[in-house]
Structure formats: C-alpha cells, structure tokens
Amino acid sequence: MVVALIIGLDVGTTAAKATVFGVDGRIHATAAREYPLLNPRPGWHVQDPDGIAAGVLAALAEAVAQIAPTDVVGISISTAMHGLMGLDADRRPLTDLITWADARAVEQAARLNDNHATGARLHRTSGTPSHPMSPLLKLMWFQDNDPELLHRAAHWVGLKDWVLAVLTGDVVTELSCASGSGMLDLAEHAYNPEAVELAGVRPDQLPLILDTTDILKLSPEAAALIGLAAGTPIVVGAGDGPLGNLGTGAMTPGLAGLSIGTSGALRMVVKQPAIAPGLFCYALTRDVWVTGGAISNGGLVQRWLTRTYAPDADDAEACRRAAQIPAGSDGLVMIPYLVSERASLWDQEIRGAFLHVRQPHTPNHFIRAGVEGVALQLWTILRRLRTIARVEQVRATGGVFRSSLWREVTAGILNRPLVVTGAAEGSALGAAILGAKALDIVPTLAEGYSLLRPDAVDEVVPVSPSDALVYTELREGLQGLLERFGRLGIEFR
C-alpha cells in the first residue's frame, strides 16, 4: 500500500536532520548531517553557509534513499531563528551565517536599550527584544563596521531564507522567521519602516514575506542531488521555536512547550500577539502566535559539563553519575552563562560562575549543579509566562530529556508535571504537521498532530514533593546569594 510521506527538515545550529513522516503515523526514515559552529573571534558564533547547504542536501538525499521517492508529497522546513547573512545578486554568500549566539552587536544593543523609549517601542512592535541575537542589531553592526558591504549585498537573509534559496532558487522568507528579525510589524505582517531605517538597508534588500503555509517548488538542481522529482512541493514552514510547540502538542491554554537543543526555549501559544517584558512573540501562522523566552545556554552547558568534569564519559554517563548527588547539589550553585544570555535577562555581558563551592564537592556535584542552573533559568521565563496565562503542564522535547536527571530536575524546578513527548523529533514533526495542513492533507493543525503521531508514547514525569521543596528554597535563596556575592566588593588590582 502506498503511504503518503512528508519530510520534516529541521535545520539547527549544529546539524540538519531530515525525518520522513508517513500519514500512517510512523517515521519511515531519518538522516542527519552535522556541521560546526565556528568561533573566529571572541563573541562571534558563525557558520559556513556552504557547509549548511551541503549538510541539508546530504541529509535529504540519505533520507530519500531509504524510501520510495515517488511517495514523497512534500518537504516542510523548520530552522533556527535570528540568523543573518548577506548574498550577492547570484544568491552566493558574501558573509558567514551570523547565528543567534553571536554577540558582536553588543554596542548596538546597548545604544538602543539606553534609549528606553526606542528599545521598548521596537520590542512592542516586533515582538523581538533588542538584543545582539536580533538580525536588526546585526545589520546595525554592519552599518557601523562595514557599511560598504551592508549596501553592496543584494539580499540580507536568515537561515530559513538560505535553505529555501538552496532548495528552490527563490530568495524569500516567511512570517515566522521574519517575526524574529526585529524588523517586523506584528500588527501589519510587514516590515516596520522605523526598524528598516535603523538597520541602514534598502527595503529591496530584504526578502519577500510569505505565509508559513505557502508552497514553493524544488529546483531541478536540488532535485538531482536529493533524488526527488523537480517541482516537489516545498512548504516554507516556520521557525523552530513555534514549530516545537506544534510538535510537542503544546497548543492549548495551560500547556507550555519546552525544547532544549544547543539552546533552549519555553513557550506557549496565544491567539493574538502578546508582548510581555523579557519575552518574545513570534508567529506560527497568521492566526497562531507563540510567546515565551529562549535561553542561549541549554544543551551546550551539558556538553561543556561533560567535557570538563567527566572527560572519560559521554553525556548520558555523566548524567548518570550526577544523578547520585541529591537535589540542590549540596549547596553548589551554577550560574550557567557560558555564552551571552537571552531570556529573561537579555544580558549580553553576563558571565557564568559556580557559587558556594566547598571541598567535599566532586565533579558529579558540578555536573548536577549545571543541569539545575539551566532549569533555574527556565524558571525565570515560566514566572513571566504566568503573567499572561496559567501554566499547568510543560510538554518537553530534546535530546537532553533522554536523561532521567534532566527530566526530574526540570519537573522539580519548574514545579509542574513534565510530559516528555514520545515524538522526539519536535520541530521536525511540527514542520511536517504544518506541511500536512499546507498540502491539504488535513484541515487543521490539531488533526495533523493526531495523524502524524498517533502511536507515540509520552512519559509523564511527576513533581517529587521533596525535590520541589528543595528547589523552592533554592530559588528563594538564590537572589540573596547573588546579592551577597555582589556586595563583597573584592578588587584584584
């Protein structure tokens, strides 16, 4: 029996992953290609656009080789948000892809935020905080540091737009990723003239904004490399954050979606754009918006902890060792800011630290304290989400949640039941669901969710009352602890 297949393509910070979903509710194939996140200068975090393109094409080709290509009815795309790169008139890269993690635009962010009226107005209009992650701030950096390149580039695009150009030959964007650019007027679904002027670019240098359910066609060149027919429908898709909510089923009031990859985010769906201090608001579709906060220090903290404190182990073994340490890490606290942090602090200068270190603390204590530190940062976002709507449950996806340590710590610190969704491919599944609606396979997103994951098994992680008590005391004492260290007044000069 022929089963219609949709490829959910998830292009992230360190890898491109192609997952083939069938309308029978099964995953028929999956393939991934990794590429490096480069750090050519302090604070710079970039990627090679050609390396991303090669990874995308190779992942798709490997996935297609495992199935009957004629059964594929379309490809739908999820990408990381907030990237920026320049293209020439022939769609060739003039710059690296400057990722969400890049902090070069610190001075430009400070300039906007020092003018509280301007920074706050842009946040309210665009839904994107004025932070170095924002493409608007990155363009302002080029205006200050390389104005010749800023004006010479034929196109300034993001990661989604680059992937679409590679697959279709069209230079366009879509509403979801445009809503993370800092230049969108949420109410008008169009670029904000004030932001475009601040960016120093011409309107014709910015890509046309499509709906997330619009469809393009696979180019003959890309089709030959992938093994699909030219003209195969390409659903432009959305950003990985909003699609994460769709893929985890966190689409109704009271449910928050949590995803942790290299970074992490906690978000909930609203029917109209909702802007709260310290939070973002991005589109999934014209009628569905996602508000929440993204942390820069997610899974990358786990990798650093393993490399530093358990170099002989992998992440899973490091977590198993740290699980032997009691909740609260015997007083050890990690402030987990290994890179410039986003929500809810939006502080590009803040640095990480361990506090309350004592002689009995072992490497396992440091690993557990790091996991707890990431979850504590997520709690600061949950607090702000509660000002918009009650959050009764958190639905989570991401590789870190294969670890019982991450599951139990996150449930305890957020003090909410944690549902780890059986659909591990959160954003890719979200892309496939959106694709199913765009391709008229289903009439609603809810029906797409039911169609593509009917047999997935979710794991409900309850809140341990004893852990919750420890973590409540930790949260309440953390502010005083930070203030105490800040009052020491030690000078090393």
Domain count, the chain: 2
Residue ranges making up the domain that contains 35: 5-240
Q: Is residue 449 part of a domain?
A: no
Among 192, 207, 240, identify where a domain stops.
Answer: 240
CA distance 182 to 197: 12
Does 158 or 453 have the greater pLDDT score? 158
Which one-letter amino acid corresponds to residue 139? Answer: L
113, 167: one domain? yes
162, 282: one domain? no
**pLDDT tens per residue across span 65-120:** 999 999 999 999 999 999 999 999 999 999 999 999 898 999 999 999 887 788 88
Percentage of the chain modeled with pLDDT above 90:
80
Alpha helices in 237-362 (DSSP H): 240-248, 299-309, 315-322
Lowest-pLDDT range of 115-129, 142-156, 433-447: 115-129
351, 203: one domain? no
CA distance 106 to 371: 27
Residue 226 DSSP symbol? H
Query: pLDDT averaged over the chain?
Result: 93
Q: Identify any residues that bridge with 78 across adjacent strands, giving them in sequence order.
A: 10, 238
CA distance 256 to 244: 10
Residue 482 has a pLDDT of 64
Give 3-state DSSP helix, strand, coil % of the chain, rounded to 5.
40, 20, 40
- Phi first, then psi: give them for residue 214, nearest 5 degrees: -70, 155
SS3 per-residue string spanning 103-162: CCCHHHHHHHHHCHHHHHHHHHHHCCCCCCCCHHHHHHHHHHHCHHHHHHCCEEECHHHH
Residue 491 has pLDDT above 60, yes or no: no
Residue 105 and residue 140 in contact, taking contact as beta carbons nearer than 8 Å: yes
User: The domain spanning residue 292 has which CATH number?
Assistant: 3.30.420.40
Burial class (CB in 10 A: 0-12, 13-18, 19+), 475: middle
Q: Is residue 438 part of a domain?
A: no
Residue 51 has pLDDT above 60, yes or no: yes
231, 263: one domain? no
Residue 424 has a pLDDT of 52
Residue 408: which of 397, 417, 398 has the closest Cα?
417
CA distance 399 to 421: 11
100, 201: one domain? yes
Lowest-pLDDT range of 20-29, 228-237, 335-344: 335-344
Note the pTM of the prediction, 2 decimals.
Answer: 0.89
219, 258: one domain? no
DSSP E strands, 363-405: 393-397
Query: Mean pLDDT throughout 326-349?
Result: 87
